[in-house]
Amino acid sequence: MNEQADFLLIELEEKMEKSIEATKAEFATIRTGRANPALLDQITIEYYGVETPIKQISSISVPEGNQLYIKPFDKSVLKKIEYAIGTSPIGLTPQNDGIGIRLVLPVLTEERRRTLCKDVERFVEAGKVAVRNIRREGNELIKKLDLPEDSEHGYIEDVQTLTNRYTEKMEEIGKKKTEEIMVI
């Protein structure tokens, strides 16, 4: 056993796990017809001269299954939040009630659900490519360690085993997200 190679395997696994988390974060931006505060994670407004995520300057609740309610801690930013949501790519129309903003998620059509499933497939494929790139990087680093041929081959097999496991995980989370989207 080579300590450097063992450490490298642990490092590769951590990177692959981060790829899974990054793909899950991408999934959060997909509107499924059910309210999820993560839908607003990418939206920021200028707050005291700094671009600030909406979730840091307001409380976001889910009063009903298809609604989000955003209540800013500072009411002076209500219009900025409303504008940011209205111009964002999430495609929802904010309803300002003077205290907060209500977002009603419309029921998704069958065609829209299929389009979203294709987006999920794209995210999964990008995640699998990221895992494969980590594998390639790991294999190159193992080869640079100048290990005996048998040990090198064993570690490269371990990297492939990790890659297979994380590729399967990527497919599983994609399948779960697709099922979530297709549920009416």
Q: What are the pLDDT digits (tens) for 117-169? A: 999 999 999 999 999 999 999 999 999 988 899 999 999 999 999 999 999 99
Is the pLDDT score of 52 beyond 70? Answer: yes
* 128/177 same-domain check: yes
How many distinct structural domains can be found in the chain? 2
Using CA of residue 57, residue 58, residue 59, residue 62, what is the dihedral sign?
negative
Closest CA to 131 of 45, 19, 32, 48: 19
CATH code of the domain covering residue 136: 1.10.132.20
Is the pLDDT score of 1 beyond 80? Answer: no
Q: What are the pLDDT digits (tens) for 88-108? A: 877 788 999 989 999 888 777
Mean pLDDT of the chain: 89
Local confidence band at 42 (pLDDT 50, 70, 90 cut-offs):
confident
Local confidence band at 174 (pLDDT 50, 70, 90 cut-offs):
very high
Last residue of a domain, one of 104, 125, 144: 104
What is the Cα 9 distance to its own chain's centre? 24
Domain encompassing residue 89:
37-104
* 48/22 same-domain check: no
* 123/171 same-domain check: yes
Report pLDDT for 31: 66
* 93/152 same-domain check: no
Local confidence band at 36 (pLDDT 50, 70, 90 cut-offs):
confident
94: number of CA atoms within 13 Å, CB side?
Answer: 23
* 7/42 same-domain check: no
